[in-house]
């Protein structure tokens, strides 16, 4: 039987009112089928720290196919390990099956399902390994994570002998958690990051681009960049930015960026990606002789510098174009946008037909769902004209 420390609602500060309503609805539906389902990961970590989570993830004993059959607004994604996305308008709730610890990493056999205890042992860090059951308010702790919260430390659950070589992005996450939580890294984690820093080069550019996007949108870009610089990772992720990080003026620009991002998050109006990129690159882009130069030429030069500054990261070109346009507008210039520009070709956001706005609200407001099937009207002749008709009647 799984062995865990169980904390009651009186022993922790998590309440069901802090959980997303659609996540609660999905868990209730899974548990009604007799399966296990919990809120896990970063959402519980953030609530424990007194913050409002951005995403809510669910862990369950059901297989991805079983989850898909249960929810019509679902889609299975992933090859290495299959997970299910539940769509609620623009919001996505991720549902993962408990993972086994009996996987063969060298052969890539990662679609092996297991128990909740095995799943808990597979979490990257202890502060991400708590399981909350909103039905009874219990918090399950398989890894002494609550003790790590009390000690304010970040401890790796996966053996460090292969954790960072298997997935080097875990090093970025550890340093990100340190900056955002104020916790300290365990000594063995610090040594392992310094030893494996070069492994970050083996990560795909797309994954690193996604991580950088999360960092500059977090409101903690300055301390995270400083952490990455301290442990020797930033030179591989953003080599040009790592050089400018030596200048105090760039520190001030990053601090201002973080302030604006946090203000946007708190007000419910987060900054657009192009505005964040603009604030990041504004102190770094320099024009030699802007006076008398055509705005289109200034734009091309600014765009060229922007690509070099964030290389090898590859954010969408239209976001870079809008960021450079903001810079030119500050200088009093405005370029003529043509149809060939990436900004003009930005894909229009199509409505997501996979999910509804809120399944929870729909269920609570309308009660039991009524069948939409129309009753077929069968025309019956007054008197049968044949023996076949008489038989059918």
Please list the active-site residues: 55, 57, 124
SS3 content of the chain, % helix, strand, coil (to 5): 45, 10, 40
- DSSP code, position 294: -
**Residue 38 pairs with which residues in a beta bridge?**
59
- DSSP code, position 61: S
Angle formed by the axes of helices 221-230 and 205-216, nearest 10°: 130
The helix/strand/coil state of 297 is: helix
For residues 36 and 382, give the distance between their C-alpha atoms in angstroms, rounded to a whole number: 57
Residue among 134, 175, 161, 140 at smallest CA distance from 20: 134
For residues 251 and 53, give the distance between their C-alpha atoms in angstroms, rounded to a whole number: 27
For residues 126 and 143, give the distance between their C-alpha atoms in angstroms, rounded to a whole number: 6
CA distances from residue 129 to 78, 104, 111, 112, 262 in whole angstroms, order as listed: 22, 22, 20, 19, 26
* Burial class of 282 by CB neighbour count within 10 A (0 to 12, 13 to 18, 19+): middle
For residues 282 and 374, give the distance between their C-alpha atoms in angstroms, rounded to a whole number: 61
> Which single residue is written with the structure tokens 């991580």?
211
Number of H helices, E strands in the chain: 18, 10
Angle formed by the axes of helices 187-196 and 169-181, nearest 10°: 140
Spatial neighbors of 112 by CB under 8 A, at least 6 apart, are 99, 100, 102, 103
């Amino acid at each position: 039987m799984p062995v865990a420390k169980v904390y009651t609602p009186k022993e922790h500060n998590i309440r069901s009112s802090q959980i997303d309503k659609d996540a609660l609805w999905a868990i209730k539906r899974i548990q009604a089928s007799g399966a296990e389902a919990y809120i896990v990961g970063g959402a519980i970590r953030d609530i424990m720290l007194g913050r409002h989570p951005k995403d809510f993830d669910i862990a369950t004993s059901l297989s991805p196919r079983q989850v898909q059959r249960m929810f019509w607004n679902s889609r299975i994604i992933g090859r290495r390990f299959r997970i299910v996305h539940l769509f609620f308008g623009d919001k996505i709730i991720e549902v993962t099956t408990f993972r086994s610890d009996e996987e063969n990493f060298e052969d890539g056999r990662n679609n092996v399902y297991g128990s909740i205890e095995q799943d808990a042992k597979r979490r990257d860090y202890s502060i991400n390994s708590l399981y909350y059951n909103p039905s009874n308010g219990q918090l399950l702790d398989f890894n002494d994570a609550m003790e790590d919260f009390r000690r304010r430390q970040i401890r790796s659950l996966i053996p460090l002998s292969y954790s960072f070589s298997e997935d080097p992005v875990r090093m970025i996450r550890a340093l990100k958690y340190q900056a955002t939580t104020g916790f300290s890294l365990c000594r063995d984690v610090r040594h392992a990051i310094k030893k494996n820093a070069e492994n970050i080069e083996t990560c795909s550019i797309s994954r690193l681009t996604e991580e950088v996007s999360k960092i500059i949108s977090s409101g903690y870009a300055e301390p995270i960049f400083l952490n990455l610089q301290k442990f020797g990772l930033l030179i591989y992720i953003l080599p040009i930015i790592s050089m400018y990080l030596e200048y105090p003026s760039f520190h001030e620009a990053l601090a201002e960026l973080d302030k604006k991002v946090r203000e946007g998050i708190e007000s419910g109006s987060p900054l657009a990606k192009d505005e964040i990129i603009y604030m990041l690159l504004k102190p770094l882009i320099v024009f030699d002789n802007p006076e008398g130069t055509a705005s289109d030429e200034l734009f091309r030069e600014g765009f060229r510098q922007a690509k070099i500054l964030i290389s090898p990261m590859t954010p969408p070109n239209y976001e870079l174009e809008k960021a450079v346009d903001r810079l030119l507008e500050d200088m009093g210039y405005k370029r003529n946008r043509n149809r060939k520009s990436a900004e003009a070709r930005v894909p229009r956001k199509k409505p997501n037909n996979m999910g509804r706005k809120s399944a929870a609200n729909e269920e609570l407001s309308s009660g039991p769902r009524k069948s939409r099937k129309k009753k077929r009207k069968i025309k019956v002749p007054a008197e049968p004209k044949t023996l076949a008709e008489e038989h059918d009647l």
